[in-house]
Every structure is written in C-alpha cells, then in structure tokens.
Amino acid sequence: MADNSPAFKPSVPELTLPAEGFLSKIPDHLLDETDPATKWIMEEISKNTQVTEFTLHATLKHNEYLRQLNGRVGTNEGAIAKIKNEVKELIDEAEAMSTFRKVVLALSKLWEYRFFRWTVYAAAFFFFTYLLPWYVDNPPSIGKVLEALLGGH
C-alpha cells in the first residue's frame, strides 16, 4: 500500500552557509598600501564579523521558532492533561458499572434457557393481569404493605 501523505515539511528555518565561505568585504584599494600581515588580519576580522552576523541572525530565527514551538507544546500538554482526566473518569465509571454489567451478563446467559424465559413471561403476565389491576382498584397504604411483608396481622 503506497503512502500518499505529503512528506514532512519542517517549519524550522533552514540555515545554509555561503557556498564559497565567508569572504572579506573590505575593498582591495583600502588594503593596497598595507603590509601582508595587517592585510590578513583585516580580512580575517571582516570574515569574523560576517560569521558573527550570520550566527546572530540564525540565533534570532531559531529563538523565534523555539518560542512558537514552546507555545504549541504548552497547548498540547494542556490538552493531554484534559484527555488523561477524561480517561480516568471513564475508567472510574466503568468500574462503577462493572457490578451492573455482571448482572446483565448473568441474566443474558440465563435468557438462553427456555425455562427461565417462560418463568419471566409468566411472572410478567401475572403482574400485569392480576397484581397491577388489584393495586389500582385497592391501593393499600405503605404501612399495610410493610405489615404484610413483615408478618403482621
């Protein structure tokens, strides 16, 4: 399977040194009357000045890039912390639901047996045809229901 995604394009600025290196920018006519040692020193100082300017420019560009990158990383760290909290909450909810899940799984296993299904159908039929209509016609008080359940008169 071919990967059609575009190649990664870094956003960090690319730095390239001059192909011919750093050359002296002092015009030759200013150095014509100087001895070779002084001429060499002046040309090297000119080259070093160019290197310093190049390095300063590169440092400023990279500093700007790092500041942008630091802002994006900070945003991502906040989002990661939020997602971790949400995952923790979901795990806690799943653990709280595990008891209910076990009951549902047990009932689903029992539902496979015909005898259990017919018992549930019979109980539902008895409830809706006898108990519910009787309760609607003769609503007992909570005290009477508790008394009957606890073995009272």
Residues with Cβ within 8 Å of residue 94, at least 6 apart in sequence? none
Q: What is the spatial distance between Cα 66 and Cα 76, in angstroms, rounded to a whole number?
A: 15
**Residue 148 DSSP label:** H
The answer for residues whose C-beta is within 8 angstroms of residue 134's C-beta and 6 or more apart is none
Q: For 62-103, how does the pLDDT look when each residue is reduced to its tens digit (9 = 90+)?
A: 898 888 888 888 888 999 999 999 999 999 988 888 888 888
Rounded to two decimals, what is the model's pTM? 0.47
Scanning the chain, the segments in alpha helix (DSSP H) are 28-31, 36-111, 114-126, 132-137, 142-149
The answer to which of 14-23, 69-78, 87-96, 110-119 has the lowest mean pLDDT is 14-23
pLDDT tens, position by position, 78-88: 999 999 999 99
